[in-house]
Structure 1
């Protein structure tokens, strides 16, 4: 199903019993989050809050609350996109099976971003930060946050949409030292594309132009969280997954605007201008604390007619981002295994908050002329895993040799840990990496 807007997706979900409406006024301070959490816990439908206290805009959450609902939303394109990602990860497959992958090139070409005309829906009106739903999920949060943003930036050395980055990094809209309607806070961790773009802009002494898209067709937020293979842009992926090309234009100030978004916030980040951001109730089950993060000076806030604010609730797993992770795994399949020789499976354990704990299975190609069996090859695989994008933020990695138990399942947490504990030699198998890449959620200290 190719949705042209978030509204079209909501109508389709409601028609098929996947969405409920709450018509009564609901308080964005804690109440909306509490309702969301209870509905998600029971694997309930998406929720449209029609009457948000203090705002003229309705809000929707839990769109991706179950994997089945995500599959329903993308029921017409999921298999096609899985093939596109597969061939991008391993182009030689096209040579080995030319007929099987004959349509992949056409899929990619038909999904390329396209410039929008004069009648872009987002041009309908303008508003202010204070008029948006001021949603606070947890009592000690530093203020209202945008929890489902698509943050767009371009490379100062290679400007243009095909070299741009679209990521999901939380945005603090108020509280702390932010000047309401003029300033908001950007929060991003290490290994994010926006960090590369800001570094390049800083080197040139230029402000970084940032566009924050909220809402729009459901393929857009999925694209913002996807770990895509090199050469496949988030905007092209959004076009393929949504069966509708990503439409955009540049406003009078040179900011890229998503034509189909419900809201677009534009602004600039100047070199080394930071303000305290947080606290924020995070996905590890505790608050990430207040830290200095980039300050974004707001230029404009655009919205479409009948705009709907999209949000989620972040907290101790499982949450809606758990279902996001399941959808990502559904799409990417064995992409990581193709990149790392000898790797058979890896699981970022959701119950631990995804980043902290990894399980992996690799091939230990034992030396046949030596009787002693000891970990060798899987140490190489482990190092490769810990150097891979966001996997480098892991605190613990348990890796086992497939040869020891070909039926070992990384998704069976109890069974996997039992397998490890039955075989581990703590004098040989325990390895520490100190003073290495961590994120700001790490409060475990630096004593080691």
Structure 2
């Protein structure tokens, strides 16, 4: 039941035609990554690279490259997890229909890892320079582990319940790292390892950390799960994998999976940091060089038949999109139990996940009065922005279920139309300034620092939206090519923005506001987004979401026609304007090396290993 290791999963996928072998000699330097990205984009199979030039280990890519394959990998346990979710939502159902939940007790038996004295992971001892030195993008600062499972435990409460398994970026070469002795550990804010690191800093002692690579597929999925506090990721890995996870402990150190492909054991010195990065990341840009903790390597184990799983991180959608969708399928129904009154929360993958949340809440404060403006929605918005990794969001749109029982946050166009029909820009825009944002987001005023905005909409429609350009439109010099991105949303190419925003705002956007006040747009135009290239931004829904929300910081980049501040509340009488142009200080976007792209195209030609695959 379930896969206990990566080898059995690979063999099963190959038997069922879901995996192909790539025997063509390829390089770790961008080539295997470029192949994986192209096969993912084509909805293709998992890939086992058997002849990678710079390493003795085979590499596994695109394992979770489709949602269908991800579901298939965990097919033996999904019914059990669904039963446990239903029990959480409706506990009395077990008494009324016990046969529906007969698998739940057996699943619960898999929550507790079991200790073993040894396992295949102890077959070999290697150095870090023998690990596959995978480089994904031209400007990456070195080689990175892209699917690491980083395990630490609380120094105050060691053991399973005090453990954290997370997927934090690990740089294994480059920059100032001592070869075979050090690695960089890049973890973002609001991550469990940060609590453990803080305890080590306060005590002045090293923090033991183990990094697992490979092993049971359930271990990889558990490392990215946003689990509630009190549920260890190792327990979820057992539940999803259909077996108790066998763990080895050596010389009093932290445990590690007996079936892992690689285990890196080490400690983080609380006083030591070194430059880490750049790295092509999931927002579609490079996260730049910053100081992060350093892992001092103690030893590295690996299986004799070890496989190195990897992915490529880049502008979404990428393979990690399947993670997010699969997680939503497993846990989406639990949202109301964690955030009362909330019906849905959608972290929009096309916008880089953290920059944009779409939510549906409930208005229950005054059921005896007609719904006319957001009330409880604002309370619920604050709850969302105070909950776990949702707190990293920059833009949160929230609507009331009472206005449309069929509203779906995953139907982006319909959702934005619903909100923009109802929003009152004089009242419904609520800022949080000088706060925290995603570590990888460079639109704010510093690392981890930026702003947030809640846009809440409730009540009857205020305007009808159109999907066509206004018949007449006056624009200042430098603004051109207005295009409709969605009903009620115009995107306009603006003049190049050479500097970050200063106090008082950008003069070009202020001039746009002035002109649009003197020559008003129709009421049907509710929002204007200024971009570098309106044709690109409006070409697809994905382009619009990516450009708009990864290139803007609410406090400095939101303007409005007829803007005013009253009792410290900001609003505007005309359309809302978002400046989503590229600005100084933003991270550069990701682009492939043309020579690497040509090499992949050659593999896709007739007779090549990727012919009719991409």
Q: TM-score range by the shorter chain?
A: over 0.9
Aligned to 2:34: 34
Partner Cα separation in structure 2 for residue 178 and residue 86 of structure 1: 48
1:66 Cα deviation from its structure 2 partner: 0.6
Residues 54 and 131, structure 1, Cα contact 8 Å, conserved in 2: no
Partner Cα separation in structure 2 for residue 231 and residue 368 of structure 1: 36
Aligned to 1:246: 245
For structure 1, which segment, 47-56 or 31-40, has the greater mean C-alpha deviation from structure 2 after superposition?
47-56
SS of 1:271's equivalent in the other structure is strand
Partner Cα separation in structure 1 for residue 178 and residue 369 of structure 2: 68
Partner Cα separation in structure 1 for residue 428 and residue 21 of structure 2: 54
For structure 1, which segment, 438-447 or 189-198, has the greater mean C-alpha deviation from structure 2 after superposition?
438-447
Query: Structure 1 residue 79 and structure 2 residue 76: aligned?
Result: no
Output aligned runs, 1:178-193, within 5 Å.
178-193=177-192
Query: Structure 1 residue 20 and structure 2 residue 7: aligned?
Result: no
SS of 1:51's equivalent in the other structure is coil
Output aligned runs, 1:387-426, within 5 Å.
387-426=386-425
Aligned to 2:582: none
Residues 109 and 244, structure 2, Cα contact 8 Å, conserved in 1: no
Aligned to 1:138: 137
Pair 97,233 (structure 1): closer, same or farther in 2 beyond 3 Å: farther
Stretches of structure 2 lacking an aligned partner (at least 5 in a row): 446-501, 503-554, 556-614
For structure 1, which segment, 40-49 or 340-349, has the greater mean C-alpha deviation from structure 2 after superposition?
340-349
Q: CA offsets per residue over residues 231-287 of structure 1, 9 Å max, x none? A: 322111111211121111212262322111000001110113100111111111111
Query: Structure 1 residue 358 and structure 2 residue 357: aligned?
Result: yes
Partner Cα separation in structure 2 for residue 111 and residue 431 of structure 1: 42
Output aligned runs, 1:380-391, within 5 Å.
380-391=379-390
Residues 85 and 229, structure 1, Cα contact 8 Å, conserved in 2: no
Query: Structure 1 residue 11 and structure 2 residue 11: aligned?
Result: yes
Pair 306,371 (structure 1): closer, same or farther in 2 beyond 3 Å: closer
Residues 85 and 228, structure 1, Cα contact 8 Å, conserved in 2: no
1:191 Cα deviation from its structure 2 partner: 1.2
1:409 Cα deviation from its structure 2 partner: 1.4
Output aligned runs, 1:167-182, within 5 Å.
167-182=166-181
Q: CA offsets per residue over residues 94-131 of structure 1, 9 Å max, x none? A: 7765724455344212341001134x111100111111
1:198 Cα deviation from its structure 2 partner: 0.9
1:379 Cα deviation from its structure 2 partner: 0.4
Pair 201,371 (structure 1): closer, same or farther in 2 beyond 3 Å: same
Pair 247,85 (structure 1): closer, same or farther in 2 beyond 3 Å: farther
SS of 2:270's equivalent in the other structure is coil
Partner Cα separation in structure 1 for residue 151 and residue 418 of structure 2: 44
Residues 408 and 416, structure 1, Cα contact 8 Å, conserved in 2: yes
Residues 354 and 438, structure 2, Cα contact 8 Å, conserved in 1: no
Partner Cα separation in structure 2 for residue 367 and residue 255 of structure 1: 53
Query: Structure 1 residue 267 and structure 2 residue 270: aligned?
Result: no
Count of aligned residue pairs for this structure pair = 446
SS of 1:435's equivalent in the other structure is strand
Partner Cα separation in structure 2 for residue 40 and residue 123 of structure 1: 33
Aligned to 1:332: 331
Aligned to 1:109: 109
Residues 36 and 62, structure 1, Cα contact 8 Å, conserved in 2: yes
Stretches of structure 1 lacking an aligned partner (at least 5 in a row): none
Aligned to 1:149: 148
TM-score (norm 1): 0.96
Pair 304,368 (structure 1): closer, same or farther in 2 beyond 3 Å: closer
Output aligned runs, 1:65-76, within 5 Å.
65-76=65-76
Residues 144 and 172, structure 2, Cα contact 8 Å, conserved in 1: yes
Aligned to 1:374: 373
Residues 52 and 133, structure 1, Cα contact 8 Å, conserved in 2: no
For structure 1, which segment, 246-255 or 418-427, has the greater mean C-alpha deviation from structure 2 after superposition?
246-255
Residues 86 and 332, structure 1, Cα contact 8 Å, conserved in 2: no
For structure 1, which segment, 63-72 or 90-99, has the greater mean C-alpha deviation from structure 2 after superposition?
90-99
Aligned to 2:476: none
Partner Cα separation in structure 1 for residue 387 and residue 440 of structure 2: 18
Q: CA offsets per residue over residues 184-206 of structure 1, 9 Å max, x none? A: 00011111110111111222221
Q: Aligned-pair RMSD on alpha carbons?
A: 1.7
Residues 47 and 60, structure 1, Cα contact 8 Å, conserved in 2: yes
1:377 Cα deviation from its structure 2 partner: 0.6
Partner Cα separation in structure 2 for residue 290 and residue 42 of structure 1: 32
Partner Cα separation in structure 2 for residue 330 and residue 403 of structure 1: 24
TM-score (norm 2): 0.70
SS of 1:57's equivalent in the other structure is coil
Residues 214 and 220, structure 2, Cα contact 8 Å, conserved in 1: yes
Residues 146 and 170, structure 2, Cα contact 8 Å, conserved in 1: yes
SS of 1:434's equivalent in the other structure is strand
1:335 Cα deviation from its structure 2 partner: 1.3
Aligned to 1:56: 56
Partner Cα separation in structure 2 for residue 303 and residue 354 of structure 1: 34
Partner Cα separation in structure 2 for residue 358 and residue 97 of structure 1: 37
Partner Cα separation in structure 2 for residue 8 and residue 201 of structure 1: 38
Residues 107 and 242, structure 2, Cα contact 8 Å, conserved in 1: no
- Higher RCO (CA-CA < 8 Å; seq separation 6+): 1
Partner Cα separation in structure 2 for residue 286 and residue 392 of structure 1: 21
For structure 1, which segment, 100-109 or 389-398, has the greater mean C-alpha deviation from structure 2 after superposition?
100-109
Query: Structure 1 residue 229 and structure 2 residue 228: aligned?
Result: yes
Partner Cα separation in structure 1 for residue 277 and residue 41 of structure 2: 26
Partner Cα separation in structure 1 for residue 231 and residue 92 of structure 2: 17
